[in-house]
Structure 1
Amino acid sequence: MGIVLKQSFRNTIIIYSAFLIGGINTIVFYPRFLEKEFYGMVVFLLSASNVIMPLTAFGIQYTIVKFFSSYETKKEKDKFLSSVIFLPLIIALPLGFFWDYAHLWIMSKVAPENQIVENYTFSIYLIAVACAYFELFYSWTKVQLQTVFGNILKELWNRVVVMLLLFAVFFKLINKEEFIFYLTIAYVLRAIVMMFYAFRVYFPNFYFKLPENILEIIKYSLYIILAGSAGAILLDIDKIMIPGKDTIEKAAYYSVAVFIGSFIEAPSRAMTQILQPLTSKSLNEFNHKEVENLYKKSSINLFLIGGLFYILVNCGVSELFKLMPEKGYAGGEWVVLMISTAKLYTMFLGNNGAIINNSKFYKIALPLALGMSIGVYLLNEIFYFKLNLGTDGLALSTLIIIVVFNTIKLWFVHNKFTITPFTPSSWKMFSIILVILLVFYFWDFPIDNIYLWKFPIHPIINIAIKSILITVIYITLIFKLNISPELDLLLKKYYK
C-alpha cells in the first residue's frame, strides 16, 4: 500500500484544495455573483453532460485500465492504445451530427418556465465529449501509475476557472451568457492539456493494426459504456429531473446540499486513481492475496478518513447554511446527511467496484448499473413527484439505492472471490463515528452576530472551534485503538 498511500495522500490534498475552492464558489460566489436561476441552469447543463459523457467515452477509460497491464511487450501495448484512442468518435461524431434531435428531446423534458436553457444545450455536447477524452488520457497516465497531474486537472482546473469567471462576471468583464461559453472552452482546453501530458508520460508508436483481442476489447467497452451510462444517471438524474417540476433555481439549492454532502468522498476519489490500475494488475496476474490485501486496506483507510469528514460535515452543516445569502439555500441538512451517509458506505467498500470492473465478472456491472438507474428514477417519481417530499425525497432515493446495490456488490465479491473488506478495526471505526456524531450533532457554540463587511463570520468561528475539538478527539481515538497501521506511520512521519 506504500505507493497507494503516497499518491493517495497527494491526491487527497489536491482534491480537498479543489473542494475548498469549489465550496467557496458554491457557498459564497455563485449565489452572490450569479442569479439563482442562472446558477440552476449551470447545474442542469453540467449534470446533463455528465449523463452523456460515459456514452461518448465508449467506456475507453475503463478499458485502458483493464487491458493495458495484460500486454507484455511495448508493441502490443502500442497497438492497443492506437486502437482505442479513436473509439469514442464512433458515438461522439453521430451524436453531434444529430444534436438537433437531442436538443428537441431535452427541451421537451424541461418545464415552460425553465426555457432559459434552450440557447445553451450544445454546451452539453461539447463538455461531454471534452470530458470523455480527458478521462481517456487520464487513464492513459493512470496505467503508468502517474495520477497526480491528471488529478490536478480533474479536480482543480474547472473550479479555479469557475472562480475566475465568477469574478469576471462580478467586475462586468463578461456577462452571464459569456460565462457559459468560456466555461465550455475551459473543459475543451483541459482535455487538450491532458492529452499532451499523457503523450509526454507514454508516447506510443502508432500502428494501423488492431490488437489480437480487439473483439474482447470492444465487447468489454460495450458492457462498460452501458454500465457507465446507467451509473451516471444515478449521480445526476436528480438535478436533471428538478426543472421538470419546479423552477430551475431549485436545482441550485439542491446542488449546494449535494456538494456539501459529497465533500467526504475526496479520499475515495484520490485513492481510486491509483487503486484501479493496481487492482487490475493484481487480477491479471491472478494474485488473489494482493487483491484481498488491497480490498481490506482500502476499506479501512477510506472508512477512517471519510468518517472524520462525515462527522465534521454533518456537525457543521447548520452553521454552514448561515453563510448563504438566500433562505432558499438553507434547510438542506437532511439532504446533506443522507448523501454523506451514502458516500460513506461506498467508501467503506474500498476498491469493490475496481475488483468487479477489472475481473472476468465485469458483465455484472451492467445489470447492477441499470438496476440502480431505473431504481433511483422510479423512487424519484414516487418521493419527489407523487409524495411531494421535495429535495429530501430525491436524497432519500439516492440513499436507498446506494445502500441496496452496494450491499449486493459486497455480497457478489464475497461470493466470487471469498473476500470481504471487514476487519476487526471496521467495527471500532463504526462505533467511533456513531458516538462522536451523536455527541456533537445537536450542539453548537453560542457565538452569534459577528460580521466583517456585512459578511457573517460567526458561523465560520463556530465551525472552526467545533471542528478542531472533533478532530482532536477523533485522531486520539484512532491512535489509541491502532485502527490503521499505514496511516499511523504516515501521520507519525509528518508529526516528527
Structure 2
Amino acid sequence: MKNTLITYFGFVIGAINLLFLYTRFLTDEYYGLVNVILSASAVLMPLMAFGVPNTLVKYFAGFREGKNRDSFLTLMVLLPLVLILPLAIISQVANEAIGNFLSQENPVVKGYVWHIFLIGMAMAYFEVFYAWAKVKMRSVFGNFMKEVFSRVVVTLLLLLVYAEVISVMAFLNALVLQYLLRTLIMMVYAFKLQQLKLNFKLPTNTKAMVSYSALIILGGSAAIVLLEVDKVMINQFIEIENVAYYSVAGFIAVTIAVPARSMHNITYPLTAEMLHKKDMTGLKRLYQKSSLTLFIVSGLLFLLIILNLHDLYDFLPDNYREGYLIVVILGLAKVYDAVLGNNNAILYNSDYYKALLLMGVFLAILTILLNLWLIPKFGLDGAAIASFLAFFTYNSIKLGYVKTKFRMHPITRETIKVFILMVSIALAFYWIEFPFHAVINIGLKSMLIIAIYLFVLYRFKISEDVYGVLSKYMAKISGR
C-alpha cells in the first residue's frame, strides 16, 4: 500500500510536470530534446547495470552473513564498471560521431552525448542500490526516490526556468546532477541496510552469476527497447517536437502500469524466495492472485482514462491533442502487461531465463524493425502500433512459456468476468457526454464508473483480495 501510494503521488507530480509545466515552460523542441535524452539514457541503463539488479535479487538469499556475502556484494558493486568504463571511453573518443548520428534529423540533439551517458550511468547504479534495499525487504524509500524525488526536483527546476532564474541549458545540466544525487542518496541508504565490507575474493559461483548477469543485459535491454526506443527513433525520422507530443500521450497510458510497478517491488523478491524453496503451490497462487488484482486495478484505470480522454485533452495546448489513438493502443498494451502478474519475476529467477532472454532480444530487434517500417509510414500512430505489436508478441510468448515449463497460467474464470465487466462499462459510457466544464465532466463520469465497477466486484466477489479490502473499508464507514 505504501509503495502504491508513493508511486501514485509520484505520477501526480509527473502529470503536472509533463502535461502542464513542460508543455508551457519549455518550447516543443526542447521538451522533445529532454525526452530524447532520458529515453536514450534508459536504453543504455540495462547495459551499464550489467544485469546486477536482477542478479542481486536472485542470488542474495544463497549467501549467508560473513565473508561469502561480503565477496558477493563487492562483486555486485564493481561488476557494472566492466561496461561503464569502456562506454565512457567510447563516449569521449567518438563523441562527434555519436552526436552526428543522433542529430541526423534534429541538430539540437548533437551536444548532449555526455548528458545521455551520465544519466544512463546514474540510472544503472540507482537500480543496483535499489535492488540492494529490496533484498532486505525495504523497497519503500527506494520507490520514493525513484517515483517522487526526481519529479519534485524537476518541478522546482522548471519553475526556476519559468522565473528566468536559470536557462534551459542550465536546466539540462541540473537534470544530470539530479540523477547523480539521487543515486548517491540511494547508495547511502542501501549501505545502512547492509554494510559493504570490501572483499575482493570471488564467490564460488562467480562464473554462473556473471553468465546470468550477461544474459540479463540482453533481457533488460530488450525490455527497455520495447519501452523507450520508439521515442529515440521518432527523433531519427521526424521533427523532435513530435517526441514531446508522443511522450505526453505515452505518459497518460503509462499511468495504467502504476499498480504493476508497485506490486512488482514486493512480488519479485517473494517469487525468488518461492523458487529457491521450490514452493510451486504458493507460486501458482501468487501468480494468479497478482494477475487478477493487477488486471482489476489496471482495467479500471484504463476505463477512467479512455472514457475521459476528450475532456482531459482540453487542458493541453492544441499541439498535444492528437494523441487519442496512441493512448488507446499503448493503454491496451499496459493492460495486457497487468494480466501477466509476476510472470517476469518467475522467468528471471528460474532456470529457464536463458530462453526468455533470447526471445527478448529477438523481439527487441522486431520492435526496431516495426518502428523503421511504421514510423515513416504512419508517424506517431505508427510508433504506437509498433510498440503494441511488440508487447503483444512478447507477452504472449512469456505466457505460453510459463504454461509449458511450470504448468501454470494466470487466467482464471474471474479474469474473464473482469474482462466482461470492462467491456460492458466501456460500451455503456463511451456514448455518454456531459455538457459541463471538463473538470466536472471528468469527476462525474469517473465517480459513476468507479461506483458501478466496485459494486459489481463486491456483489459477485470476483476477487477475494479486492472483496476483503472493500469489506474492510465499508465496515469502517458504517462504524462497525
Query: TM-score higher than 0.5 here?
Result: yes
- The letter of the residue matching 1:163 is T
> Any conservation in 2 of the 1:315–1:442 contact (CA below 8 Å)?
no
Following superposition of structure 1 onto structure 2, how do residues 66-77 of structure 1 map, counting pairs within 5 Å?
A: 66-77=58-69
Q: Distance in 1 between matches of 2:53 and 2:201?
A: 20
Farther-moved stretch of structure 1 (9-18 vs 52-61): 9-18
Q: 2:128 is matched with which residue?
A: 136
* Residues 1:474 and 1:72: Cα distance change in structure 2 (over 3 Å): same
Kindly provide the CA deviation profile for residues 147-173 of structure 1, in whole angstroms up to 9, marking residues without a partner as x: 111000011111111111110101111
Correspondence for 1:426 among 402, 415, 428: 415
> Any conservation in 1 of the 2:256–2:334 contact (CA below 8 Å)?
yes
- 2:381 is the alignment partner of 1:392: yes
- The letter of the residue matching 1:156 is V
Correspondence for 2:345 among 339, 343, 354: 354
Q: 2:83 is matched with which residue?
A: 91
Q: 2:30 is matched with which residue?
A: 38
Q: Distance in 2 between matches of 1:360 and 1:296?
A: 21
- 2:461 is the alignment partner of 1:482: yes
Q: Distance in 2 between matches of 1:389 and 1:112?
A: 20
> Any conservation in 2 of the 1:253–1:328 contact (CA below 8 Å)?
yes
Farther-moved stretch of structure 1 (9-18 vs 298-307): 9-18
Farther-moved stretch of structure 1 (198-207 vs 462-471): 198-207
Please state how far the C-alpha of 1:111 moved relative to its aligned partner. Answer: 4.9
* Residues 1:71 and 1:102: Cα distance change in structure 2 (over 3 Å): same
- The letter of the residue matching 2:446 is S
> Any conservation in 1 of the 2:51–2:220 contact (CA below 8 Å)?
yes
Q: Distance in 1 between matches of 2:71 and 2:471?
A: 45
Q: Distance in 1 between matches of 2:244 and 2:366?
A: 24
Q: 1:439 is matched with which residue?
A: 428
What is the DSSP-based 3-state SS (H/G/I as helix, E as strand, rest coil) of the residue aligned with 1:267? helix
Please state how far the C-alpha of 1:480 moved relative to its aligned partner. Answer: 1.0
What is the DSSP-based 3-state SS (H/G/I as helix, E as strand, rest coil) of the residue aligned with 2:61? helix
- The letter of the residue matching 1:379 is L
What is the DSSP-based 3-state SS (H/G/I as helix, E as strand, rest coil) of the residue aligned with 1:81? helix
- The letter of the residue matching 1:99 is S
Following superposition of structure 1 onto structure 2, how do residues 290-329 of structure 1 map, counting pairs within 5 Å?
A: 290-325=282-317, 327-329=318-320
Q: 1:378 is matched with which residue?
A: 369
Q: Which runs of 5+ in 2 are unaligned?
A: none
What is the DSSP-based 3-state SS (H/G/I as helix, E as strand, rest coil) of the residue aligned with 2:74? helix
Q: Distance in 2 between matches of 1:80 and 1:142?
A: 16
Please state how far the C-alpha of 1:18 moved relative to its aligned partner. Answer: 0.9
Q: 1:342 is matched with which residue?
A: 333
- The letter of the residue matching 2:143 is N
Correspondence for 1:236 among 219, 225, 228: 228
Give the TM-score normalised by structure 1. Answer: 0.93
The Cα RMSD (Å) is: 1.4
Kindly provide the CA deviation profile for residues 404-458 of structure 1, in whole angstroms up to 9, marking residues without a partner as x: 12111101001000011022211111111111112223432112xxxxxxxxxx3
- 2:161 is the alignment partner of 1:172: no
Kindly provide the CA deviation profile for residues 34-90 of structure 1, in whole angstroms up to 9, marking residues without a partner as x: 111000000000000000000000000000011111224444322211211111111
> Any conservation in 2 of the 1:111–1:245 contact (CA below 8 Å)?
no
Q: Distance in 1 between matches of 2:395 and 2:302?
A: 18
> Any conservation in 2 of the 1:19–1:263 contact (CA below 8 Å)?
yes
Farther-moved stretch of structure 1 (64-73 vs 389-398): 64-73
Kindly provide the CA deviation profile for residues 219-256 of structure 1, in whole angstroms up to 9, marking residues without a partner as x: 00000012212221111111001122211000000000
Give the TM-score normalised by structure 2. Answer: 0.96
Count of residue pairs the alignment pairs up:
475
What is the DSSP-based 3-state SS (H/G/I as helix, E as strand, rest coil) of the residue aligned with 2:199? coil
Correspondence for 2:147 among 150, 155, 174: 155
Q: 1:196 is matched with which residue?
A: 188
Please state how far the C-alpha of 1:318 moved relative to its aligned partner. Answer: 1.4
Q: Distance in 2 between matches of 1:202 and 1:494?
A: 37
Farther-moved stretch of structure 1 (272-281 vs 226-235): 226-235
Q: 2:73 is matched with which residue?
A: 81
Following superposition of structure 1 onto structure 2, how do residues 110-121 of structure 1 map, counting pairs within 5 Å?
A: 110-112=102-104, 114-121=106-113
Please state how far the C-alpha of 1:112 moved relative to its aligned partner. Answer: 4.7
Please state how far the C-alpha of 1:107 moved relative to its aligned partner. Answer: 3.0
Q: Distance in 1 between matches of 2:304 and 2:434?
A: 14
Q: Which runs of 5+ in 1 are unaligned?
A: 1-8, 448-457
Q: Distance in 2 between matches of 1:399 and 1:200?
A: 41
> Any conservation in 2 of the 1:296–1:420 contact (CA below 8 Å)?
yes
What is the DSSP-based 3-state SS (H/G/I as helix, E as strand, rest coil) of the residue aligned with 2:203? coil
Q: 2:449 is matched with which residue?
A: 470
Q: Distance in 2 between matches of 1:206 and 1:492?
A: 50
> Any conservation in 2 of the 1:315–1:440 contact (CA below 8 Å)?
yes
- 2:211 is the alignment partner of 1:219: yes
Kindly provide the CA deviation profile for residues 264-283 of structure 1, in whole angstroms up to 9, marking residues without a partner as x: 10000000011111101110
Kindly provide the CA deviation profile for residues 96-133 of structure 1, in whole angstroms up to 9, marking residues without a partner as x: 12203553444343455511122222110000110111
Q: Distance in 2 between matches of 1:378 and 1:111?
A: 20
* Residues 1:112 and 1:226: Cα distance change in structure 2 (over 3 Å): closer
> Any conservation in 1 of the 2:218–2:358 contact (CA below 8 Å)?
no
Question: Matched residues, percent identical?
Answer: 41
